[in-house]
Structure 1
């Protein structure tokens, strides 16, 4: 018989008894939530603490002859490589299934951290801690994004919020341990231990995760050009592009900003810990608010709020307490893109085209993730007494401009829903 869902295409099951295991908003979907939580914890959670490594590289002359821009490029390359492989990963997922590209990503992720531990030149770091780790993150993370939208309908944003909190938990764990490992056993062993732990945990997650492609039958186009003829898609992509300029700047600059206002190295690491704690606490609430008040509207408001607090709290911050306050508040909302992009894409184009639009979204943020921290370090004025003033302005303006695109998208979406409701 045929069973339909208000947010899924028609799927055919053998009998009515087969249907309950395939219904949205529960069942094995919660196991997938746990698996995606682990994936976020040991991919983006690890990447988020690059700021700790960056402050170490910048202040300790670990690679003689390397410039600050070289180290900024390493962090940007991690994000850029993860997003750049999106079309290829989407193609491989369609051809071979979800797990093979994810397992390759596990090896690349772990290999990147371990090989970085033997780096003696900055370009070694670019290839290992930058490109190889980034490719691993992309191969593990990208196939996992559409899966939760396949399992959840009404609780879709909540599920994404819970899993996105994994990056905050991972960031808390590794921001605390990374600085301690660097101080006590060397940066090399810190990287090796990180690689081994990431390998073990992401392998478990990949073995647990399960897609519903046989039910949804997604198109999985690596790059569906037809989507680029839609105005609402362009609004989404502009939000993604511009908000990433602020996101990377804030995420990677905050530890060295703490050192620039004469906080200690341990306090700098604690600032990142509080930022990731804010992420862990805030992202599930973003999911709840999104399901309750509208995913696009909530994302627009929080994007604007993040830009506002850059001006209201970050720029005036000159002490540990105020910096921690900013880290907590911004941590809760600065990554609103990662929490909401999957549900918003599903809302704009539906589940069958979800992976196609996500693939385009990942490509859209390659350039801002690659170069935004490089831009931020170029904007620094070390001898001015306010070294990070211009990067702070850059981040705040980026978030506020990005929010304008989502507010326009929200307005159009609400009008469309109002017309659709009136026609019923």
Structure 2
């Protein structure tokens, strides 16, 4: 008798030990999850069988087929997607905490950048320091793009558990760091690897629970990155002044541990692809919407994090405000980004993700350029809030768009991974380029020009992807 989906969700984690390869290599839990992702009816075996046995099988096939058809949802069967329910929304909570401790950590680095420039890494240049944050973000996407086959093999819990350990361990090692290479290894490499192992589960699981409401679900989950970008800088800034750098960093590590333990506890896998995911799908590069969207996100991330890393340093260097208010600029930016990851995604479910991300990306670039003539703190605060809102869309909607432009849902993870791998290069070199420009020019004007122009160009490239996918009609759902 086939088991119900509710029973499958309860049967989490078998104690069977296995070897890699073959059907024997799967735990009972992994075997059931894989069966749930297989086509409803499997082709019959053509090997000869006893005639009497054959008739007995014929008599029982009808009932068996009807039961299998109702209990084995396929990853490609949109009608079987719950699109809501307690378990589905718990996965949103799980993903929220994963975003909080992946992209939320990346969004926090601006505070560390400002501290390092006058603290334990004062002897290093802004460009050298920014390599720490950019490498951390790069590993998030790059490692995430390579974990697809591991996710498909059923090791989702292992990925999230490994990421939990690496992030918390890296944070604790950071609290002991006093030199550049120690900070690089703990904050960039260890935490970066940890966030990378959790990135794909945080996105891919939601695509199996939501279809028409996927943008809303991802938007709510992605808001976790903004919440992390608010909480962690405030905790660090206040505790660093009273308790010092080591304990401020450790307390953040304890917050990470608590929230990630909740994510591990509520994680449930509904279905997985029937086969192992390919790391590469070369046919994707023959599709114009995919190519231009990937190139657009690459160019966009070259400039997107410019204000995140440098707006605090800018306000202090220009003597626009004191250190306390300058610090809160990043918190304001991330707070506004929370709404920018939810509200536009709600709209995207109604008018299409491309129709939302293009104008938001364009406005993000324009706002970065608007920092050039600012001479007082008021306009800087307003720009920071607006920049946070519109830039949040550029971070939260790409995963939804990859789902939208991929016909075969079994290839979503592969194409998403390839796209994020390319995007990671933009994140890696973007902010160090900003630092090099700052070192060479001695002013922030060229920094804002670079960040703004890259983001504006990105909106144009994504517009090409949109037109090639859905045509010129501005009312078309794309």
Is 1:405–2:461 an aligned residue pair? yes
Structure-1 residue corresponding to 2:383: 326
Question: Could you say what the CA RMSD is over the residues aligned between the two structures, in angstroms?
Answer: 2.7
Match of 1:29 among 44, 64, 88: 88
Match of 2:278 among 221, 224, 230: 221
Residues 288-344 of structure 1: CA deviation (Å, up to 9, x unaligned): 1211111112111111111112223x2222222211111111111213232111111
- Say how many residue pairs are matched: 409
Structure 1 unpaired stretches of 5+:
2-7
Distance across 2 between alignment mates of 1:304 and 1:9: 42
Conserved? CA contact 1:172–1:273, under 8 Å: yes
Conserved? CA contact 1:89–1:143, under 8 Å: no
Distance across 2 between alignment mates of 1:90 and 1:383: 42
Is 1:232–2:285 an aligned residue pair? no
Structure-1 residue corresponding to 2:26: none
TM-score where L is the length of structure 1: 0.89
TM-score where L is the length of structure 2: 0.80
Residues 133-185 of structure 1: CA deviation (Å, up to 9, x unaligned): 11111111222212212211111111111111111112111222111011111
Structure-1 residue corresponding to 2:233: 175
Structure-2 residue corresponding to 1:260: 317
Structure-1 residue corresponding to 2:20: none
Is 1:392–2:448 an aligned residue pair? yes
Distance across 2 between alignment mates of 1:226 and 1:211: 28
Is 1:349–2:439 an aligned residue pair? no
Residues 349-401 of structure 1: CA deviation (Å, up to 9, x unaligned): 132111001111121022221121111011126986xx211110111101110
More off after superposition, 394-403 vs 190-199: 190-199
Deviation at 1:47, TM superposition (A): 2.2
Deviation at 1:190, TM superposition (A): 1.5
Structure 2 unpaired stretches of 5+:
3-36, 42-66
Structure-2 residue corresponding to 1:132: 190
Distance across 2 between alignment mates of 1:157 and 1:10: 26
Deviation at 1:17, TM superposition (A): 8.2
Match of 1:144 among 196, 202, 214: 202
Write out aligned runs for 1:14-413 (5 A): 14=68, 16=70, 22-27=80-85, 28-60=87-119, 62-63=120-121, 65-214=123-272, 217=274, 220-262=277-319, 263-312=321-370, 314-350=371-407, 351-380=409-438, 387-413=443-469
More off after superposition, 103-112 vs 205-214: 205-214
Deviation at 1:92, TM superposition (A): 1.8
Max Rg structure: 2
Distance across 1 between alignment mates of 2:338 and 2:183: 28
Q: 1:23 to 1:382 in 2, by over 3 A?
A: closer
Deviation at 1:241, TM superposition (A): 0.5
